[in-house]
Amino acid sequence: MEKSTIERNSGGMCADTLRTLIDVNCGVGNWPFRPLPVIDLIALSAHLEAEGIESALVSPIEAALLEDPYDANRRLIDGARGFPGIFPVPVINPRVRRWRSEIEEAAAEPKVRAVKVHLNYHDVSVTDGAFEEVALCVAERGLPLLVPLRMEDERFHHVMMQVPPVPIGEVCTFAEAHPDCSVVCLNAYRNEIHSVEFPPNLSSDIAFAERNLTLSDLTAHTGVERVMFGSNTPFFVTRAAIMKVAHATVCDDDRASVARENARAMFGL
């Protein structure tokens, strides 16, 4: 992003903040229900760099629809070695028998800083013992757990594949009961975030949260330390999330916390 564009959209904010974003919610690959603008790691890396995103947590999009995401995870982990700013996030299905060995293998990779579970697409409840086992195993290896509430707006779902969102209240209850697990809710609507009280080990990204002055609204409810920049690229336009940061009516320290510092601390980036 050119300096003049940043300054024009930042309301006088220091331009460096928008040049060093860390995105905790990116994907790469194909989605069978509609074409996506970014397909492979080469295109994604170039796109993120152009938008001022220094580092991104990236998961394989197709993994949500695979019973065993292992091969998709492996391709991403191997491919990401050539892209310094791409940090692969493997997807684990708690219903796959070998999930423990998959977590151990992923945790041994230096660039893997988190694990993701698509509970609704893999038909696993937050209250299911299988999810608890996976979450505890991930926590034992010092990794945060990413829990998308949805992949896309339910209004866009294929008529024959309606997938309900993961209930944020259940995720919150789980986090409260397991304080050693660091959990990040992805793709939560603003009203969902406001419907619960976040414990210290639960965070949220901003991709789906829409409101006038989004950052000040979210941080006033959860605390600034529990909000992270996430764009849901390539399902969403990356710039939309950037503008939420650029136009936020928060102090520069809080803006930097959301833009990068919270993620930098949690994921060691």
Residue 5 pLDDT: 38
Confidence of residue 15 (pLDDT cuts 50, 70, 90): low
pLDDT in tens, 228-241: 999 999 999 999 99
| Residue 24 scores a pLDDT above 70 | yes
How far, in Å, CA of 166 to CA of 119, rounded?
7
pLDDT in tens, 87-129: 999 999 999 999 999 999 999 999 999 999 999 999 999 999 9
CB under 8 Å to 249, separation ≥6 — which residues? 213, 215, 216
The residue-averaged pLDDT of 68-80 equals: 97
| Residue 1 scores a pLDDT above 50 | no
Nearest to 261 by CA among 233, 231, 213, 224: 224
CB under 8 Å to 111, separation ≥6 — which residues? 77, 80, 81, 86, 87, 88
Average pLDDT of every residue of the chain: 93
The residue-averaged pLDDT of 126-140 equals: 97
Residue 265 pLDDT: 97
Residue 12 pLDDT: 46
How far, in Å, CA of 189 to CA of 198, rounded?
14
The residue-averaged pLDDT of 174-182 equals: 98
| Residue 2 scores a pLDDT above 60 | no
Q: Which residue has the higher pLDDT, 62 or 15?
A: 62
| Residue 267 scores a pLDDT above 60 | yes
Residue 211 pLDDT: 86
- Domains contained in the chain, CATH given: 3-267 (3.20.20.140)
> Is the separation of the CB atoms in 174 and 183 below 8 Å?
yes
Look up the pTM and report it.
0.93
Residue 17 pLDDT: 64
Confidence of residue 212 (pLDDT cuts 50, 70, 90): confident
| Residue 77 scores a pLDDT above 90 | yes
| Residue 14 scores a pLDDT above 60 | no
E strand or H helix at 202: strand 202-205
Specify the amino acid at residue 40.
D
